[in-house]
Every structure is written in C-alpha cells, then in structure tokens.
Amino acid sequence: DTSVSLSPPAIRVRPLTCTETQRGDRRVVHSLGDGTVHVNAARHDATFGFSTVFDAGASQETVFEGSGMRQLVELAIDGFSCTVFAFGQTGSGKTYTLMGPLTQSETRPVAPGLLGLMQRSFACLLEQSRSRGSDLALSASYLEIYNEQVRDLLSPGPPSALPLRWSKTRGFYVENQLSVDFESLEAIADLLLQAGSQRRRTSAHALNRHSSRSHALLTIQVRSRAMRGARVSLPPTWVPQPSTCPSKQGTLCFVDLAGSERVKETGSSGELSVEANNINRSLLALGHCISLLAKPQGKRTHIPYRDSKLTRLLARSLGGSGITLMVACVSPSSRCLSETLSTLHYASRARKVTTRP
C-alpha cells in the first residue's frame, strides 16, 4: 500500500511569555502528556486528542525528534517532496519553532539548544550527506507570499512579484526564482540571515510585524546521485555517463504561515485591511482544501488549489504526492482563547487528510 497518511498534526503549546505573566494572563491550555489538549476557561471546557502534543516545557530538540522531522529529512533525501508547516495566530510560536528565537544582535548567535526545526534539519541533511557517502547536492530558494504576490527573498534589490505558472510536468512553479547552492551550515545560515535582513528592510515601509503578515516558504532541493561503483552487476563494457547515473530529487519545504487571527476591524484600514483580507483569504483557501482532502477518497470533489497562491504552491505537498508535517502552535494565554480554539479545530480537520507520495 503506497498511501501514507499526512502525519497527524503536532500541537505545540508555548509557555506564557514574560509580558503575559506580568499582565496577569491566565494559563487556560494544558496538556496532560497523553496526547490530549485541554482548554479550560470560564465558558469553555474542551478536550482535543492528537497523537503528538508538546507542552510548554518541550525543548526544541524534543520537538525535532518527537515530531517526525528527522524522518521527513530522510524521506527528502530518498526523493520525496516533504513539507513542514507551522500555523497558528501571530505570537503563538511559529517562527520560534522553525527558526528559534530571533537574535537581538547579529553578532550574538542563538544558543545551539534553541535552534529550530530548520537549522536542525540542515545539520541533519549535511550529516547524512557525509555518512551516506553519496553525492548529495543541496540548494535553497526562499519565497514569500505577501498580498497574493510571490516575491523572491533571495534576489537583491526591492522585492518584485514573480509569476506563478503551471505546467503538466512540473505542476505549479515560480518562474525565475533564484536558487542558491550550499554546502555548509554557515552558508545556509547566512542565506537565511541575508533574506531576513532584506525582509526587515521592507518591514520599515510596511509594518513592524511584516514577517507575520506574509507566508514564507524556504525550499531545499536535495539531489542525490548514486555512488560511483555502485552498479557492480553491469557488463564490463558499460561506461558510466553522468547522465545515466540514477539520481533522486527530493525537496524539503519549510512554511512559516502568516498569523491566522481574525483581524479586528478596529483601526485596521487601507493597507492593513488589504493585508488582513489576503491572509485570511489564503488561509481560508488552505483550510478549504484541507477539509476537502480530508473526505474519504471516493467522496472527494475537485480540490480548489487555484483559489490562492499559497494553495497553488502547496498543491504538491497537500495533494497526494508529498508528505506533510504540520505543527499547530498555540498560546496558553486566556486572552488568546478563541484563536486557540480555532487553531485546534483547524488541526483536527487536518488529521484526516491522506496523501500518496
């Protein structure tokens, strides 16, 4: 049987932040360590069951090992399209989970224990490439979707929109997207930092919280060529040609989704409300595709990937040929109650999707 379930979403409940503690927010989300999440507040008392729940005490390493991220990296090396996406409201811990805490100064690096799923995966890829002895080539591209425009975070200069196209052989793809080869952790870390500072530059024009107003997609292409000398059973006259070497090409995509909160109409106008509408529209499209995919195979109707740029770019990973890991992030604070409930409902729906890589 080739059908593989979309790994059931992992839930991560972050600790209360200092600010939340100082202003006296209550902790209303608890996990008892048995895969259940309890939401307990004045008029709400709900329990959700998931296969993987990380509570406030879970370390970054625990999340990496316990979420199945390591296996995902190995599947990417084996040639599968793998995607991990973090979702949840702004401030729920998506970026922390993927990248760790953002450094205050570029001169002081993050403590290794706090590094996120991305850096741990890069380390794992590079380690595997060494231990497998095969020729593994790694390259990265980094895109963001902002106001329904796809922008290249690696290209120098002001951000410009790139066309998103479709072809029979490639599916949806972004035209003229930059791709950078890398061979070391430093190189890929620099790449992220460089793209990060570029995003920060644009944020000055837009908003302080720009990064959470866009969806960011980092894709690592993993091309592996079989080892020379591996084809021992071939006739002696066979001369290996580079083009005849069997090769595999997998991808590992990290998606940091924009915050899922409903933006209160108060004070949001003009640019702000356009952003909010676009975010909500694409997250809604994603949720819609997920709930259609969650229907039993025979009852499925057409999946509307074309409804948003986000769902087009994620079509391959959601729609059957990829393997997707979702991490739903929630805040434990009483103030975030309704958003937390909606994230948990969203994650529950995603549990039923199956894909066939």
Minimum CB–partner distance for residue 196 and ligand ADP (Å): 13
Of 57, 101, 158, 304, the one binding ligand ADP (CB under 6 A) is: 101
Q: Look up tokens 């329904």; give the residue.
A: 148
Ranges of beta strands (E only) in 147-277 are 149-152, 161-162, 164-167, 171-174, 180-182, 215-225, 247-256
Site string for ligand ADP, 208-237 (x = CB under 6 A): ----x-------------------------
Q: Does 90 bind ligand ADP (CB under 6 A)?
A: yes
- In angstroms, the CA 313 to CA 329 distance is 22
Minimum CB–partner distance for residue 102 and Mg ion (Å): 9
In terms of CB distance, is 258 or 313 closer to ligand ADP?
258
Query: Of Mg ion, ligand ADP, none, which one does residue 93 interact with (CB within 5 to 8 Å by kind)?
Result: ligand ADP
In terms of CB distance, is 224 or 333 closer to Mg ion?
333
Q: Does 212 bind Mg ion (CB under 5 A)?
A: yes
Contact indicator for 257, 85 with CB cutoff of 8 Å:
yes
Of 7, 95, 308, 334, the one binding ligand ADP (CB under 6 A) is: 95
Residue 250, annotated as binding a ligand = no
Residues composing the chain: 357
Q: Which of 180, 176, 139, 138 is nearest to 160 (CA)?
A: 176
Of 95, 177, 260, 334, the one binding Mg ion (CB under 5 A) is: 95
Phi, psi (degrees; rounded to nearest 5) at 333: -75, 145
- In angstroms, the CA 233 to CA 80 distance is 27
Minimum CB–partner distance for residue 14 and ligand ADP (Å): 4
Minimum CB–partner distance for residue 100 and ligand ADP (Å): 8
Using a CB cutoff of 8 Å and minimum separation of 24, what contacts does 145-150 make?
145/214, 145/215, 145/217, 145/282, 145/309, 145/310, 145/313, 146/213, 146/214, 146/215, 146/275, 146/278, 147/274, 147/275, 147/278, 148/278, 148/281, 148/282, 148/308, 148/309, 149/309, 150/174, 150/309, 150/313
Query: Of Mg ion, ligand ADP, none, which one does residue 151 interact with (CB within 5 to 8 Å by kind)?
Result: none
In terms of CB distance, is 213 or 312 closer to ligand ADP?
213
From the centroid of its chain, how far is CA 161?
21
In terms of CB distance, is 83 or 212 closer to Mg ion?
212
Of 92, 214, 324, 333, the one binding ligand ADP (CB under 6 A) is: 92
Residue 95, annotated as binding a ligand = yes
Residue 299, annotated as binding a ligand = no
3-class SS letters over 115-166 = CCHHHHHHHHHHHHHHHHCCEEEEEEEEEEEECCEEEECCCCCCCCEECEEE
Site string for ligand ADP, 4-23 (x = CB under 6 A): ----------xx-x------
Q: Does 280 bind ligand ADP (CB under 6 A)?
A: no
Residue 90, annotated as binding a ligand = yes
Specify the pairing of strand 36-41 against strand 29-31: antiparallel
In terms of CB distance, is 66 or 171 closer to ligand ADP?
66
User: Which residues make up the interface to Mg ion (CB under 5 A)?
Assistant: 94-95, 212
Residue list for the binding site for ATP: 88-95
User: Which residues make up the interface to ligand ADP (CB under 6 A)?
Assistant: 14-15, 17, 88, 90-96, 101, 212, 259, 329
